């Protein structure tokens, strides 16, 4: 389950050094870690890099255990790909660390940066429709997750979930998703009407500023360390 | 299935970004006659619904439904592709799928929306709406799974090459390993396709009963409008 509400809470409520760093420095940090994962052929430096990222996340007051668990999401595809290459356990381990290390860096960025700041930066590079779509998607996501929770509670109370009956459960889930879509579209139409009344002209996202600041030493230093580790320990 | 960072060769994911950028530009070009401001809330609602559906993981096969075919049917191919891009970008921001492979992941998910829309409307109105949507979903997911296998096939490098940089070994054993990957993806995927097809069929049938005007896509409205204009 993508716990968007919790991620948003962590991003908005933290006061650690990573929260104080600029969005640009955290994007550079992410790019450095991704570069390290792309160029390495040795799992050891990346394993150490992953450990360093966890230590930094813990020291910066981020929910490092949760973030570490979430970072393993991409491991399944990496494992399948590694096994299919036929290089044994070693190649599978290499692909898993290649997958989870950038994922951890990405999660460190998202749990320490409120989404409007990230989307504002992205809106510098993206067409207006996509920037506005990103904002609208993120906003609607919370509403839909809330509606889905209410739907799940209602269906449980009415005995709609039957363990062992895949057909009945799938039918109920499908109706729930259908209802969710219809209501989401209705809400979207109403929202559009409200936005037009309030002067919406196709632009929603404020363009972000690209500027470094004094708190940026931690993400920049961490990213550079992981990349150097990979470059030196080949 | 979302491809993570660091797994595929650099040339391939850069190519993925380039093709995705062209596809996005093409979609925006196709939509230039449409007042896109009207569709921003709808685009957001459907993209958010895709994200919610993706958060419902089906155990024990770790499969999640995508609703990409539903997005294609509701939004049309161009907006459906843009919804796939937005969904993938937000997923990547949450660590579900890589940053470097946003291009390839968007091409896979976006092609599901485009194919799903095309197949759903190709089936005409002969079979009931459930079977049209379910059939379109199975065919779409089969084709995009083959595309995923194709991506892996063109990216496949020898394990020895990867570990030791031995370029002479870079092409050995490729067919065997790709076929192994294909068997794994197709055997795991077929259960997922059936679940996704059932849910897509039921969702589209529900929408056709509750709010049928959502299934009359703007492209077809425009065609109807044009043909009416011609008659006049």
pLDDT score, position A88: 74
Task: Report domain extents, chain A.
Answer: 4-117+211-232, 127-197
Q: How far apart are CA A227 and CA A219, in angstroms?
A: 12
Q: What is the CATH number of the domain that holds B219?
A: 1.10.1760.20
The share of chain A scoring above pLDDT 90, in percent, equals: 19
Residue-wise pLDDT tens digits, A196-231: 788 776 666 566 566 777 778 899 999 999 999 989
Identify whether the C-beta of residue A104 lies closer than 8 Å to the C-beta of residue A67: yes
Select from A77, A138, A188 the Cβ nearest to the Cβ of B90: A138
| Angle at alpha carbon of residue B64, lines to B110 and B97, rounded to 5° | 60
Residue-wise pLDDT tens digits, B131-157: 999 999 999 999 998 888 888 788 765
Q: What ipTM does the predicted assembly reach? A: 0.81
Q: How confident is residue B92, by pLDDT bands cut at 50, 70 and 90?
A: confident
Mean pLDDT value across residues A92-97 = 86
Domain assignment of residue B4, yes or no: no
The minimum CA-CA distance between B69 and chain A, rounded to whole Å, is 13
Q: Which residue of A has its CA nearest to B171?
A: A85
Q: How far apart are CA A191 and CA A176, in angstroms?
A: 22
Domain of residue B120 covers: 10-231
Cβ separation A110–B94 shorter than 8 A: yes
Is B118 strand, coil or helix?
Answer: helix
pLDDT score, position A85: 67
Can you read off the two tokens belonging to residue B148? 């995923």
Mean pLDDT of chain A: 83
Can you say whether residue A88 is alpha, beta or left, with left for phi > 0 and alpha for psi between -120 and 50 degrees? left
Cβ separation B92–A137 shorter than 8 A: no
pLDDT over 90 (residue B123): no
The share of chain A scoring above pLDDT 70, in percent, equals: 90
pLDDT score, position A208: 58
The share of chain B scoring above pLDDT 70, in percent, equals: 77
Domain count, chain B: 1
Identify whether the C-beta of residue A40 lies closer than 8 Å to the C-beta of residue A95: no
The minimum CA-CA distance between B231 and chain A, rounded to whole Å, is 32
| B208 contacts in chain A (CB < 8 Å) | none
pLDDT score, position A226: 93
Question: Nearest CA to B137 among B44, B200, B57, B92?
Answer: B200
pLDDT over 80 (residue B31): yes
Identify whether the C-beta of residue A182 lies closer than 8 Å to the C-beta of residue B207: yes
State the DSSP H helix or E strand holding residue B57, giving kind and residue range, or none if neither: strand B57-58
pLDDT over 90 (residue A28): yes
Q: How far apart are CA A103 and CA A57, in angstroms?
A: 13
* A 98-137 near B (Cβ less than 8 A): 98-104, 106-107, 109-110, 115, 118, 122, 127, 129-130, 132-137
- Claim: this prediction has a pTM higher than 0.95: no
Residue-wise pLDDT tens digits, B39-60: 888 888 899 988 888 877 665 5
Which stretch of A49-58, B91-100, B171-180 has the lowest confidence by average pLDDT? Answer: B171-180
Q: Which residue of B has its CA nearest to A125?
A: B21
Q: How far apart are CA B111 and CA B115, in angstroms?
A: 6
Residue B58 C-beta-side C-alpha neighbours within 13 Å: 20
**Between the ranges A44-58, A66-80, A130-144, A196-210, where is the mean pLDDT highest?**
A44-58
A69 touches chain B (CB under 8 A): no
Domain assignment of residue B192, yes or no: yes
């Amino acid at each position: 389950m993508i716990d968007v509400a919790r991620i948003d809470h962590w991003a908005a409520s933290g006061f650690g050094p990573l929260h104080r760093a600029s969005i640009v420095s955290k994007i550079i940090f992410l790019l450095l870690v991704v570069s390290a994962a792309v160029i390495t052929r040795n799992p050891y430096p990346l394993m150490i890099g992953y450990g360093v990222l966890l230590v930094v996340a813990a020291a910066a007051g981020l929910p490092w255990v949760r973030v570490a668990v979430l970072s393993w999401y991409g491991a399944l595809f990496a494992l399948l790909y590694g096994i299919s290459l036929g290089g044994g356990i070693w190649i599978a381990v290499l692909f898993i660390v290649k997958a989870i290390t950038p994922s951890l860096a990405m999660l460190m960025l998202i749990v320490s940066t409120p989404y409007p700041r990230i989307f504002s930066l992205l809106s510098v590079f993206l067409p207006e429709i996509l920037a506005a779509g990103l904002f609208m998607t993120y906003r609607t996501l919370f509403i839909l997750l809330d509606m889905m929770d209410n739907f799940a509670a209602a269906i449980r109370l009415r005995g709609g979930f039957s363990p062992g009956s895949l057909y009945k459960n799938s039918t109920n889930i499908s109706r729930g998703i259908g209802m969710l879509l219809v209501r989401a579209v209705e809400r979207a139409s109403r929202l559009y009407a409200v936005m037009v009344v309030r002067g919406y002209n196709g632009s929603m996202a404020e363009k972000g500023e690209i500027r470094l600041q004094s708190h940026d030493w931690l993400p920049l230093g961490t990213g550079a360390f992981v990349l150097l580790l990979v470059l030196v320990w080949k | 299935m979302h491809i993570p960072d660091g797994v595929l060769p650099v040339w391939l994911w850069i190519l993925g970004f380039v093709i995705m950028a062209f596809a996005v530009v093409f979609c925006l070009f196709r939509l230039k006659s449409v007042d896109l401001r009207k569709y921003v809330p709808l685009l957001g609602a459907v993209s958010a619904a895709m994200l919610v559906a993706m958060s419902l993981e089906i155990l024990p096969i770790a499969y999640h439904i995508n609703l990409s075919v539903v997005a294609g049917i509701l939004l049309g191919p161009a907006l459906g592709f843009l919804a796939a891009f937005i969904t993938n970008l937000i997923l990547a921001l949450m660590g579900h799928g890589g940053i470097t492979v946003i291009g390839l992941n968007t091409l896979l998910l976006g092609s599901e929306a485009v194919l799903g829309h095309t197949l759903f409307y190709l089936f005409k109105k002969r079979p009931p709406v459930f079977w049209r949507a379910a059939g379109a979903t199975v065919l779409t997911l089969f084709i995009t799974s083959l595309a995923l296998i194709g991506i892996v096939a063109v990216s496949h490098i020898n394990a020895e090459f990867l570990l030791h940089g031995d370029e002479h070994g870079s092409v050995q054993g490729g067919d065997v390993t790709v076929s192994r990957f294909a068997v794994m993806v197709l055997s795991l995927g077929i259960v997922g396709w059936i679940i996704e097809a059932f849910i897509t069929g039921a969702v589209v049938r529900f929408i056709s009963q509750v709010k049928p005007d959502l299934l009359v896509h703007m492209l077809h409205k425009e065609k109807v409008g044009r043909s009416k204009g011609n008659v006049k």
